[in-house]
Chains A and B, each alone.
Chain A
């Protein structure tokens, strides 16, 4: 790693400055980073769309889940570009597999929801550490920094905003005359077109955020290493050396100065991130001796004499020191301390129990109301609401005889024309509800039922239903006795139109 070729100014930064630097890097190299992300994500999306053509939600979920597959290559390219080493497409393709593959399973499973993903990625991808070494290294690097978590949260929020903005943009830009999409459809009941448009928006949002996310995480990593390994000092020394060599000036450099340069440059001038680390680790054992030698040199430090007053008399005895308290008070204090500790432990346990109960309750409620959580259901899966009574007539199968037409005829022979008509009407409704997927709300009038039947049923069945309904409403609301011959005729037609249907139902 040639630190003097680095494209950014290396200096100690706060975490937020580091994030800002990352964003600046992403802006300046946005197009290559964006194209790189798309080059990896698009094939994944197309494959998912091919396999899950019927379930578009799965396709986009897979693309989203595989984010750790696309990001390492961005980081790799960025790390080389930062040191003025622009990698060509061919080289990148050759190295892609070796960059993405390490620890991919872990990245896609238990590390997928790690909020520090972008910050930890350089340790895996650039330092190529794994196992305990990786864990130890991450523990050192991430000490005292939470910015990477916030970076993930903010990135997630902005991604959502961009996705929604894309939907709103489509809705707003559609002319009124072409308003074949609406916001409700998009958000709550999307059809296939809305879903594919949403995917387009999701892909765009992810691709726009990814370069910034990766670059900001990398910048946080660089800043942390600058802080830990004093890269800024190293660069300053290198400039110093360069100036000295350039001017051909020979100046006596003391032992200590040489030692410093040798130490730091030897540590950091290695070729890669990993070798730096190893070098630093090897020198650590000898560091104390060298540091003492360095500090012993006159060039370091200044000696000055400071005079001040210091009380050297007898110390006052601290009132109420525990050792001087009576045993009873000591005992009470101990008990109280035990209580407070106990209370803290009890509070902690109580909190955990309450959280557990709350979580269980939420899971139970979610399970109990799972049908409300599903916004879209395919028509085949939707459970039809079948009313128990319609127009005052019971519709359960038990209330209907097996041979409706025969029963109707016998009622007609007994002179109960209205009873026969009622039986036929119920039978038809039952048959239509069972077999023609007819859904009739409680508020539907007879006329609306006819419209629904006409929309769903074959012409002969709907014509039959119209005639039957006409007779039925005449009897029900007009108090007109139905014509026996007409009812008898309807009985005759019943078997032809609905006989098989009800047989099948039973």
Chain B
């Protein structure tokens, strides 16, 4: 299955210099504000280029908000943040209609979801109704208020966070809703050198604990991001690569100890993310390394392990590591 390349952005031999500069520049700009966490930054940009949403799991204070704000600043998009709480209503996210006394008419008050980059902080603290409202917006990319549909401005990226340690009073996302996220990214504590550089960078001349994204320059406009997304979607994918992605997903589905495996949406997401990964790597075609590089982030939240494995302390990442070792790479 060979797909035609996007003729406007790509040359016959590889990606155009402009696209390469934009992609690499975007990564570089975000790294100006977020010290370390290179893998996380890369995976979030993969999510952006693949026009997918990202679920980030990590303890508080690791720079999730800073990451999204830096990304928004580098792209020149509008950023919103919603702190999910048990009493949050769907209309608090999507918006609502209110009566304007001055004008004697109803007026639509758009919610924080009308933005380019939405940080849904601690998404599992809101009840299922509110969660599903957001996930519907993520899927449809439009909001319906009082029967009227309002399209969202593209690009639209939701970066939802979860705290893995405090599970009391939370509403864990159901498997079907987790499937809507393109990637699940683990954000971990930075290494010693990274943390040292981060502390020095953040505290240098800073008053209070405001997030400093002043160093991030606006490199791209939302339209250019859309072009990059189109470029990623148009990358060449050999038939062997598709077969490899499907093989990984099917193996994960049938793997011993996996109660519920990823569905066909998992295969689709894997290929979408692999295209974005290839674009980020500066290739105009997808290689097995691109597929393998994103497989864990794409599939880890689409797998439910059997109880005995969970009791033994296995995580989906461990099982996926085994699967990737056991699935043969493409043979041309």
Q: Which residues of B contact A392 (CB under 8 A)?
A: 331-332
Contact A391 to B332, CB < 8 A, known contacts A477-B285, A477-B287, A479-B2: yes
Q: Which residues of A contact B292 (CB under 8 A)?
A: 445, 447-448
A419 to chain B, nearest CB (A): 13
Q: Which parts of B272-329 form the interface with A (CB within 8 Å)?
A: 283-289, 292, 324-329
Q: Does A380 contact B (CB under 8 A)?
A: no
Say whether B329 contacts A445, CB under 8 Å: yes
B256 to chain A, nearest CB (A): 17
Q: Does B238 contact A (CB under 8 A)?
A: yes
Q: Which parts of A463-495 form the interface with B (CB within 8 Å)?
A: 473-474, 476-480
How many angstroms from the CA of A390 to the CA of B288 in the assembled complex? Answer: 14
Contact with B along A383-414 (1 / 0, CB 8 A): 00000011111000000000000000000000
Say whether B13 contacts A480, CB under 8 Å: yes
Say whether B289 contacts A479, CB under 8 Å: no
* A422 to B, closest residue via Cβ: B332
Q: Which residues of B contact A272 (CB under 8 A)?
A: none
How many angstroms from the CA of A448 to the CA of B288 in the assembled complex? Answer: 10
Say whether A445 contacts B288, CB under 8 Å: yes
Q: Which residues of B contact A390 (CB under 8 A)?
A: 331
Q: By CB atoms of chain B within 10 A, which of A392, A441, A446, A477 has the most?
A: A477
Q: Does B240 contact A (CB under 8 A)?
A: yes
Q: Does B182 contact A (CB under 8 A)?
A: no
Q: Does A302 contact B (CB under 8 A)?
A: no
Q: Which parts of B243-297 form the interface with A (CB within 8 Å)?
A: 283-289, 292
Q: Which residues of B contact A (CB under 8 A)?
A: 2, 12-13, 236, 238, 240-241, 283-289, 292, 324-332
Say whether A447 contacts B328, CB under 8 Å: no
* A449 to B, closest residue via Cβ: B329
Contact A478 to B236, CB < 8 A, known contacts A445-B287, A445-B288, A446-B289: yes
Contact A443 to B287, CB < 8 A, known contacts A391-B332, A392-B332, A477-B238: no
Contact A447 to B236, CB < 8 A, known contacts A391-B329, A477-B241, A479-B2: no
Q: Which residues of A contact B241 (CB under 8 A)?
A: 477
Cross-chain pairs A/B with CB under 8 angstroms, 25 sampled: A390-B331, A391-B330, A391-B331, A391-B332, A392-B332, A443-B324, A443-B325, A443-B327, A444-B329, A445-B289, A446-B287, A446-B289, A447-B287, A447-B289, A448-B289, A476-B238, A477-B240, A477-B285, A477-B287, A477-B288, A477-B332, A478-B283, A478-B285, A480-B13, A480-B285
Q: Which residues of B contact A445 (CB under 8 A)?
A: 287-289, 292, 329
Q: Which residues of B contact A478 (CB under 8 A)?
A: 236, 283-285
Q: Which residues of A contact B326 (CB under 8 A)?
A: 443
Q: Which residues of A contact B (CB under 8 A)?
A: 389-393, 441-448, 473-474, 476-480
Q: Which residues of A contact B328 (CB under 8 A)?
A: 442-443
4 smallest A-B Cβ distances: which pairs?
A478-B285, A392-B331, A447-B289, A445-B288
* B241 to A, closest residue via Cβ: A477
Say whether A479 contacts B238, CB under 8 Å: yes
Say whether A477 contacts B331, CB under 8 Å: no
B68 to chain A, nearest CB (A): 29
- Apart from A448-B289, A478-B285, what 11 extra A-B contacts exist at CB < 8 Å? A389-B331, A391-B331, A392-B332, A443-B329, A446-B288, A447-B287, A447-B289, A474-B285, A477-B287, A479-B2, A479-B236
* B293 to A, closest residue via Cβ: A447
A299 to chain B, nearest CB (A): 78
How many angstroms from the CA of A393 to the CA of B331 in the assembled complex? Answer: 8
Q: Which residues of A contact B286 (CB under 8 A)?
A: 477
B302 to chain A, nearest CB (A): 20
B153 to chain A, nearest CB (A): 34
Q: Which residues of A contact B13 (CB under 8 A)?
A: 480
Contact A476 to B332, CB < 8 A, known contacts A445-B288, A447-B287, A447-B289: yes
A120 to chain B, nearest CB (A): 48
How many angstroms from the CA of A498 to the CA of B287 in the assembled complex? Answer: 27
Q: Which residues of A contact B331 (CB under 8 A)?
A: 389-392
B287 to chain A, nearest CB (A): 5
B285 to chain A, nearest CB (A): 4
B82 to chain A, nearest CB (A): 37
* B281 to A, closest residue via Cβ: A447
* A483 to B, closest residue via Cβ: B13
A280 to chain B, nearest CB (A): 65
Q: By CB atoms of chain B within 10 A, which of A442, A443, A446, A479 has the most?
A: A443
B275 to chain A, nearest CB (A): 12
B51 to chain A, nearest CB (A): 23
Say whether B329 contacts A473, CB under 8 Å: no
Say whether A441 contacts B325, CB under 8 Å: yes
How many angstroms from the CA of A480 to the CA of B14 in the assembled complex? Answer: 9
How many angstroms from the CA of A459 to the CA of B329 in the assembled complex? Answer: 26
* B2 to A, closest residue via Cβ: A479
Q: Which residues of A contact B324 (CB under 8 A)?
A: 443
A153 to chain B, nearest CB (A): 33
B300 to chain A, nearest CB (A): 18
How many angstroms from the CA of A446 to the CA of B330 in the assembled complex? Answer: 10
* A392 to B, closest residue via Cβ: B331
* A450 to B, closest residue via Cβ: B289
B325 to chain A, nearest CB (A): 5
Q: Which residues of A contact B330 (CB under 8 A)?
A: 391, 477
Q: By CB atoms of chain A within 10 A, which of B284, B286, B287, B330 has the most?
A: B287
B278 to chain A, nearest CB (A): 9
Q: Which residues of B contact A446 (CB under 8 A)?
A: 287-289, 329
How many angstroms from the CA of A400 to the CA of B2 in the assembled complex? Answer: 31
How many angstroms from the CA of A246 to the CA of B288 in the assembled complex? Answer: 102
Q: Which residues of A contact B238 (CB under 8 A)?
A: 476-477, 479
How many angstroms from the CA of A443 to the CA of B248 in the assembled complex? Answer: 11
Q: Which residues of A contact B285 (CB under 8 A)?
A: 474, 477-480
Q: Which residues of B contact A473 (CB under 8 A)?
A: 287
* A389 to B, closest residue via Cβ: B331
Q: Which residues of B contact A389 (CB under 8 A)?
A: 331
B238 to chain A, nearest CB (A): 5
B31 to chain A, nearest CB (A): 22
Say whether A442 contacts B329, CB under 8 Å: yes
Q: Which residues of B contact A441 (CB under 8 A)?
A: 325
How many angstroms from the CA of A474 to the CA of B283 in the assembled complex? Answer: 9
A130 to chain B, nearest CB (A): 58
Q: Which residues of A contact B329 (CB under 8 A)?
A: 391, 442-446
How many angstroms from the CA of A317 to the CA of B289 in the assembled complex? Answer: 100
How many angstroms from the CA of A478 to the CA of B241 in the assembled complex? Answer: 11
Q: Which residues of B contact A480 (CB under 8 A)?
A: 12-13, 285
How many angstroms from the CA of A441 to the CA of B328 in the assembled complex? Answer: 8
A184 to chain B, nearest CB (A): 14
* A474 to B, closest residue via Cβ: B285
How many angstroms from the CA of A446 to the CA of B332 in the assembled complex? Answer: 12
B183 to chain A, nearest CB (A): 20
How many angstroms from the CA of A390 to the CA of B329 in the assembled complex? Answer: 9
Q: Which residues of B contact A442 (CB under 8 A)?
A: 328-329
B12 to chain A, nearest CB (A): 8
Q: By CB atoms of chain B within 10 A, which of A391, A443, A478 has the most?
A: A478
How many angstroms from the CA of A448 to the CA of B13 in the assembled complex? Answer: 24
Q: Which residues of A contact B325 (CB under 8 A)?
A: 441, 443
